[in-house]
Structure 1
Amino acid sequence: MTFPVVGMVGGGQLARMTHEAGIPLGITFKLLSDTPQDSAALVAHEVVVGDYHDLGTLRDFARGCDVITFDHEHVPTEHLRALEAEGIPVRPGPAALVYAQDKGLMRARLSELGVPCPRHRLVADPADVTRFAEEGEGYPVVLKTTRGGYDGKGVWVVGTEKEAAEPFRAGVRVLAEEKVDYVRELAANVVRSPHGQAVAYPVVESQQVDGVCDTVIAPAPGLDEELSGIAQEMALRIANELGVIGHLAVELFETRDGRVLVNELAMRPHNSGHWTQDGAATSQFANHLRAVLDLPLGDPRPRQPWTVMVNVLGGDFPDMYSAYLHCMARDPGLKIHMYAKGVKPGRKVGHVNTYGEDLPEVLERARHAAGYLRGTITE
């Protein structure tokens, strides 16, 4: 029997963790990486260093792969269409992925489907932003570049027309959205396979700091059971309507009047699903691989009542390895996941997972470990 070859475009930590999930499945993992030092390039069996913006490079990389998937959404849509036209399986396909690549197209398509979203409109210039503000509750307004933003980049909260000038300087389309008065941010993670099987993970609470995911609590504490079901059903419907193959993360706002609104989509393993590595019967990474290979999907149910993931961000303390002794001795049940990335302030260099029956204790363990690894906690 010849086991399949999965080609992943992108060499970041998502590729690294997907590769890890493929090892027990016997899958050969081929990587297209920007540099030999990228997180996944340090561990993958076959690494091609090249520019994913170049169609010829993508074609050469795809030779010998049974399927192509991604750890980011930045590959040009027209290149993916070309690969697909040549009979190369691309999952998720360009017809679906474009809605994670372009926020303007995403908002338009979800609105067509009747999916609840914040009030929004593409805007032409700062004066148009003011008109958009006046059509609703006024300033502040959220502005987003339609392509290329992530982890808070490409997003501005502006309070005046003068402040609205900054996003237009890049010369890309700008989307204006109302600033939602929300209770908290949630995420609904689902996985869908080509033959239509789909699974939904518990809806989680995602806590952001400076636009970057800091803490994820699974399941979201105190979330109304009916609202949780609505969020899961919405994510499954979006995956089906858009034809998503693989993992889909639907980032949500829980509003003060008891609704959920879609904030963002990601068609790949996602930070809000990292808890599944240790807290679910089948991780998001394993299920993403199963989906893109059209294998039966695994059980998404949690192993424990509570799982908490906290990101480890780089700071002024580069020697994280020496901190392991304290963290492991203090908490033998702690799960540490590091990405082999150079430490820079604010950079995601790893995460920790904890789980158990008492949420305050599980939360304290995860935050202490992440803080100690960062160097912000010293005892």
Structure 2
Amino acid sequence: MTFPVVGMVGGGQLARMTHEAGIPLGIRFRILSDTPQDSAAQVVHDVTVGDYRDLDTLRAFAAGCDVLTFDHEHVPTEHLRALEADGIVVRPGPDALVHAQDKGVMRARLDAIGVPCPRHRIVADPADVTRFADEGDGYPVVLKTVRGGYDGKGVWIARSEADAAEPFRAGVPVLAEEKVDFVRELAANVVRSPHGQAVAYPVVESIQVDGVCDTVIAPAPGLSDELSAQAQQLALTVARELGVVGHLAVELFEVRRPDGGSVVLVNELAMRPHNSGHWTMDGAATSQFANHLRAVLDLPLGDPRPRARWTVMANVLGGDFPDMYPAYLHCMARDPGLKIHMYGKDVKPGRKVGHVNTYGDDLADVRERAAHAAGYLRGTIDE
């Protein structure tokens, strides 16, 4: 067979949905999973269970793959360089991926290429945090460990020097950033292939609750054509300058200018399929997962344009009701156009266990349908 083998490091829901996107193409898909119970390990035929932090395990897994990609950014950078030295095709490569792994490296590189970011610098201790605060508008400031944070983990809001002690206990460098007074959070999702072709999805609004993405609206309501184009161009520039291959999510703050207009600042980068792009599974001509596969295989990229005027994604978080399947009867009967995507995870309070997508011409209606379905599945709505 001439169909290539794509190996994905990580067995989470992103790997599960990437596998789904590759099935119609006949792509042979393998995963390196932490456990046999992981989301993707339940549905992928070719599963290796092992530790992604072990170089020998990575080498053995990669030996059976034509290209290696990721559903998380935690593989040690030095291991990826060793794999490339072995002749393994790694996409995105370590020189690009390090900017999603290390927030300090990311900020320095974005500064160098002129990408707008919040004021920031690496700080040495709580007293240095106070000096950073005094250089601007004072407390509060945002503190982040440079590696390992996600979904609000590894991020603190310090309102005083006493608050600033906790991040340093991890023993890794700490990045201080100004606390941005933003209007809302946006995300610009783009995909880039090795030969330089790139596509941009509509800029979306991302609504966070307790540091976790709750709802994504595509496209972002009320966003001017000018600012939307600026955000897309910014993401495409970052992808090109950093040498990204595959999907890149650029998380943004929309900030109001004194003249009433808006600008965007870069908050975070993710070099893999991303929660802010899950709406594309049902709302775009080509999903982020399908385009990520096309990119890492250096195939022509698919059309990113939306299928409907509005698409809303709502995450389904675990609650007090572990058995969500009985709720399907109500949700599907109430809304035949609803799309449910569950990840096969054990239900735990606050854990992402799935998402729903709705679409249509009336934004208020589309939002209500998504919120109702996500709430009913979680058990917070019973009517």
TM-score, normalisation: structure 2: 0.99
The code of the aligned residue for 1:334 comes to L
Is residue 13 from structure 1 mapped to residue 13 from structure 2 by the alignment? yes
Cross-structure match for 1:178: 178
- What SS does structure 1 have at the residue aligned with 2:183? strand
What does 1:320-335 correspond to in 2, within 5 Å? 320-335=324-339
The code of the aligned residue for 1:281 comes to A
Q: Deviations over 1:287-325 (max 9, x none)?
A: 000000000000000000000000000010111001000
Which of 279, 284, 298 does residue 280 from structure 1 map onto?
A: 284
The code of the aligned residue for 1:52 comes to Y
Cross-structure match for 2:83: 83
Distance 2:129 2:86 in 1: 42
- Any conservation in 2 of the 1:308–1:355 contact (CA below 8 Å)? yes
Give the superposition deviation at 1:176.
Answer: 0.1
Cross-structure match for 2:366: 362
Give the superposition deviation at 1:2.
Answer: 1.3
- Any conservation in 2 of the 1:316–1:345 contact (CA below 8 Å)? yes
- What SS does structure 1 have at the residue aligned with 2:91? coil
What does 1:288-303 correspond to in 2, within 5 Å? 288-303=292-307
Cross-structure match for 1:198: 198
- Any conservation in 2 of the 1:353–1:366 contact (CA below 8 Å)? yes
Cross-structure match for 1:313: 317
Cross-structure match for 1:3: 3
The code of the aligned residue for 2:298 comes to D
- What SS does structure 2 have at the residue aligned with 1:51? coil
Q: Deviations over 1:235-275 (max 9, x none)?
A: 00000000000000000000011100000000000000000
Distance 1:65 1:140 in 2: 47
- What SS does structure 1 have at the residue aligned with 2:330? helix
Give the superposition deviation at 1:130.
Answer: 0.1
Distance 1:269 1:83 in 2: 22
Cross-structure match for 1:338: 342
Is residue 378 from structure 1 mapped to residue 379 from structure 2 by the alignment? no
The code of the aligned residue for 1:316 comes to D
- What SS does structure 1 have at the residue aligned with 2:269? strand
Cross-structure match for 1:270: 274
Is residue 48 from structure 1 mapped to residue 52 from structure 2 by the alignment? no
- What SS does structure 2 have at the residue aligned with 1:341? coil
Distance 2:231 2:70 in 1: 25
- What SS does structure 2 have at the residue aligned with 1:202? coil
Distance 1:140 1:238 in 2: 29
- Any conservation in 2 of the 1:28–1:45 contact (CA below 8 Å)? no
Cross-structure match for 1:157: 157
Is residue 109 from structure 1 mapped to residue 115 from structure 2 by the alignment? no
Q: Deviations over 1:118-145 (max 9, x none)?
A: 0000000000000000000000000000
Q: Deviations over 1:24-78 (max 9, x none)?
A: 0100101100000000000001000000000000000011200000000000000
Cross-structure match for 2:207: 207
- Any conservation in 2 of the 1:73–1:97 contact (CA below 8 Å)? yes
- Equivalent pairs counted in the alignment come to 379
Distance 1:45 1:20 in 2: 12
- Return 5+ residue gaps in structure 2 as ranges: none
Q: Deviations over 1:197-217 (max 9, x none)?
A: 000000000000000000000
Distance 2:144 2:27 in 1: 38
Cross-structure match for 2:228: 228
Distance 1:166 1:19 in 2: 39
Distance 2:294 2:377 in 1: 33
Distance 2:320 2:125 in 1: 40
Distance 1:74 1:178 in 2: 26
Distance 1:155 1:106 in 2: 16
- What SS does structure 2 have at the residue aligned with 1:259? strand
- Any conservation in 2 of the 1:308–1:363 contact (CA below 8 Å)? yes
The code of the aligned residue for 1:243 comes to G
RMSD of Structure 2 on Structure 1 (CA): 0.4
Is residue 94 from structure 1 mapped to residue 94 from structure 2 by the alignment? yes
Cross-structure match for 2:216: 216
- Any conservation in 2 of the 1:141–1:159 contact (CA below 8 Å)? yes
The code of the aligned residue for 1:354 comes to T
Distance 1:233 1:170 in 2: 36
Distance 2:116 2:57 in 1: 39
Cross-structure match for 1:126: 126
Distance 1:68 1:163 in 2: 41
Q: How many percent of aligned residue pairs carry the same amino acid? A: 84
The code of the aligned residue for 1:355 comes to Y
Q: Deviations over 1:98-134 (max 9, x none)?
A: 0000000000000000000000000000000000000
Distance 2:63 2:107 in 1: 35
- Return 5+ residue gaps in structure 1 as ranges: none
- What SS does structure 2 have at the residue aligned with 1:217? strand
TM-score, normalisation: structure 1: 1.00
